A and B are shown apart, each in its own frame.
Chain A
Amino acid sequence: MGEVELSCLAYVKMYLHGCLFPRCSVNGLLLSSSPAGGAVCVTDCVPLLHSHLPLAPITQLGLTQVDVWCAQTQQRIVGYYQANACVSDNSPTPCALKIADKIAEQCNNAVLLMIDGGKMSPDYRVPPIVMYERKDTRWTLKDKHTIMLRQWEETREIANQLLDSGDHSLLVDFDSHLDDITRDWTNQKLNAKIAELASPANVCTWMSRVEK
C-alpha cells in the first residue's frame, strides 16, 4: 500500500517505553498530525500499558482518552505498537491484532508496528521494527522499502543519549498515569527534551563525537 514515515519523536518514545519496562510487554498508539490521504506520517505516539495488555477496561479507557486528546490537538490515531516481553517472539499477539483492527475501522491505512526486542541495541544499523498493514482483512508484512525513518542515525543517538542520562525514566505511559494521576501521559516534558536533542546544533555536536 502506501508509504509510512516514522518521526524521530514517535520512534524515540516507543523505544524508551520498551527500555523502561524490559520485563513486560508494552504497547501504545501511533498518532499523526498530518491530514488523511497520501502517505501516513506517524508524528507522535502515546505509550499505553505495561501490564495486562489483553484485558479490556484500561485499553478501552486509554483508547477513548487518546481519541479525545487527538480531537483537541488535531491529531489522529493511525496505528498501534507493541513490544513483547519475550524478545525471541515479535509476532503480533491476538490482542495486538484486535486493537489494530479497531483502529483500522477509523483509519484506512492504519499500521501495526511490532518492536523487535532481540534487535534493540545501541548501534543497530536498522530500526528494530517490523510493520504490518491491512490487506483485505488480514495484517500482512509491509514492504521495508515503503517505511521511512529520516535521519535514522541521529534518531538512534537521541535514544541512546536519553538512556545514558537516565532521562528515559521521564516517560509516562497510561498505566503509570493511573498509578499517579499527576503524571502526564502526553509526555510534554520528554517531548521537549527530545526536540532539544534533535535541534540541528545538538545533532552536529554528537554526530562528530560518534564518528571519532
Chain B
Amino acid sequence: MANVISFKNEMRDKLRKWREDNHRNSEQIVDVGEELINEHASKLGDDIWIIYEQVMIAALDCSRDDLAWTCLQELKRQFPGSQRVKRLAGMRLEALEKYEDASKQYDSILQDDPTNTAARKRKISILKAQGKSAEAIRELNEYLEQFVGDQEAWHELSELYINEHDYGKAAFCLEELMMTNPHNHLYCEQYAEVKYTQGGLENLELSRKYFAQALKLNNRNMRALFGLYMSASHIAASPKVNATVKKANVKYATWATNQINRAYQVSYARCLL
C-alpha cells in the first residue's frame, strides 16, 4: 500500500516539475498522467484539475484524442462556462485540423474578453499551422504592440522572421529579449548567429562580441564557442581589417580552438569512464 502511495506522489511531483519547467515531453506526460488519472484520480484532491489540463494538452500533442476527450469532459463538467476550458476545446479542434471551428471558438472567447491573450496567441498559431507565415507575422506584430512584455511572443516572432530569412527583424526581436533578459546566454548566442548569417564585416564583429558575451554568461555553450572561433577567423581573414584587428582576432580564434579541444578531451575522458 505504501508503495502505491509513494508511486502516486512521485508521479504527481514529476508532473508538477514538468509543468513548472514548461517541458514539452508529451509522450512521458501522457504515460505518467494517464496512469495517474486512471488509477489514482480520487486521491489527488484539487490537483486533479490542473493535471487533467496538462495531460490533455500532452495527449493532443501525441494524437491521443481519446485521452484528450476524457480530460476535456471532466474539465467541462467541473468548470462549466470557463474561458480556460473553452481554449482547451479550441486546441482540440486545432489538433483535429478543424481550424475554422477552432478560430470561431477563440473568437467567442475574445468577444467576452478582448484581453484574453491565450486566445489571441492560439489564433496566431493556427495561421502558423496553415503555413500563412506573412499573416502570422502581421498578427503577432499587432499583438506585441499591445502586449509589449510578452517574451514568448517576441521569441516566436524571431523564429518566424528567421524562417522568412528576414534577419534584420529577427535581430530586432532578439534585441528586445536580450534587454529584458540580460543574463540569458541563449538569446545572446541566437542573436550572434543571426548577425553572422547577415554577413559583412560589421555584422561579423557584432556576432563575435555576442558569442563572447554568451560565453561569459555560460562558458559551456558549445555553439557560442564554435561561433566565436568562426567569426574571429573570418574577421582575421578579411582583407578589410588592419593588422591590429587581424592580430586580435587571430588571438580570439586560437583561444576558442583551445577551449574547444579541451572540451572534447574532457568529454572523451568522460565517455571512457
Contacts and interface: CB of A to CB of B under 8 A. Distances in A.
Interface of A: 23, 52, 54-58, 60-61, 86, 88-89, 93-95, 178-179, 181-182
Interface stretch (B35-43, B86-94, B115-123, B222-230): B222-230
Interface in B219-273: 222-223, 226-227, 230-231, 263-264, 267, 270-271
Contacts of B263: 181
A179 B131 CA distance: 29
B197 A54 contact: yes
27 contacts: A52-B159, A54-B162, A54-B163, A54-B165, A54-B197, A55-B193, A55-B196, A57-B192, A57-B196, A57-B197, A57-B226, A57-B227, A58-B193, A58-B226, A60-B230, A61-B226, A61-B230, A86-B131, A88-B130, A89-B131, A94-B165, A95-B165, A178-B222, A178-B223, A181-B263, A181-B264, A182-B271
B190 interface: yes
B129 interface: yes
Contacts of B271: 182
Nearest to B271: A182
Q: How large is the interface on B (under 10, 10 to 19, 20 to 34, 35 or more residues)?
A: 20 to 34
B60 interface: no
A61 B207 CA distance: 15
B51 interface: no
Contact of B193 (A56, A89, A179, A182): A56
A56 B190 contact: no
A94 B196 CA distance: 18
B194 interface: yes
B194 A55 contact: yes
A181 B220 CA distance: 10
B197 A55 contact: yes
